[in-house]
Amino acid sequence: MVSWLDAILLGIVEGLTEFLPISSTGHLILAARVLHLGGEAVTTFEVVIQAGALVAVVGLYWVRLVAMGRGLLGADPAGRRLLRNLIVSFLPAAVVGVLSHRLIKMWLFSTWPVVAALAAGGVLMIAVDRWRPATSGRRLESITPREALLVGLAQCLALWPGTSRAMVTMVAGLLLGWPATMAAEYSFLLALPTLGAATAFDAALGGRLLLEQASPFAVAGGLAASGIVAALAIQGFLQYLTHRGLAPFGWYRLALAGTVWGVARFATTT
């Protein structure tokens, strides 16, 4: 059973890590192990709880969403281009995710795959932060369809839990020469279709089982905690990026992977 306290704790973990390049899914899997939670219902909750974080993006980027809506009506060319690019970036991971959903849940939602992905992503972020191309004063509206497709292909890597959707999106943007804050904001907006589709898909498949093992009150509490913490995390992360790089997050991933590996090895030998 998922208690209301478990749900709120998982919501805090989700909100804090969803938009940082450290893997929310990986942290949720590890947090569930610490709380001694497991099973299909918990795995579903680890995905569905993303809806709270998405509400934070809607609230913070309402102006962008209105511009894209106006673009659909032909009243905002820049908004239409941004919407087109988000759709292009969304499609690759959506197709691969639907085709590989059950295999990912079966083989990768466990500690060791997460540890491996955390470590590999940490090394990648440190390297990119040191040797990435010089950035320019570009804006979201200047993204080309080719760049959007490359980011979308990179997003497929994030289907491996522990990799981090935010990390691969930002790293791809940085390698394309985007400023760090621009790459982060594109990652936030791309979360809306990507995580929205994943949340709806998992809720449709496992929602009934989830509500059998967690009360609606607990689920609502987890979603609220996720949304509030995510809004604070987004604003803090953007302020951080205006002055610093991504290397500290890479070192954090390596430290976390090493700690989890050490604890797990110790547990198996005692």
Quickly list DSSP for 153-197. HHHGGGGSTTS-HHHHHHHHHHHTT--HHHHHHHHHHHHHHHHHH
Residue found by looking up tokens 């995580």 in the block: 195
**Amino acid present at 179:** P
pTM of the model: 0.90
Q: For residue 241, give its domain range.
A: 4-268
Percent of the chain's residues with pLDDT above 70: 99
Q: How far apart are CA 242 and CA 270, in angstroms?
A: 46
3 state DSSP class of 36? coil
Strand partners, 2: 214
Residue 203: which pLDDT band, with cuts at 50, 70 and 90? confident
Radius of gyration over every alpha carbon of the chain, rounded to an integer in angstroms: 18
Q: How far apart are CA 14 and CA 2, in angstroms?
A: 15
Residues 6+ apart with CB under 8 A from 268: none
Q: What is the number of structural domains in the chain?
A: 1
pLDDT digits (tens, 9 = 90+) for 85-114: 999 999 999 999 889 988 887 888 888 899
Q: How far apart are CA 210 and CA 244, in angstroms?
A: 40
Residue 80: which pLDDT band, with cuts at 50, 70 and 90? very high
**Amino acid present at 31:** A
> Which contiguous run of DSSP H or E holds residue 40?
helix 40-48
Q: How far apart are CA 91 and CA 89, in angstroms?
A: 6
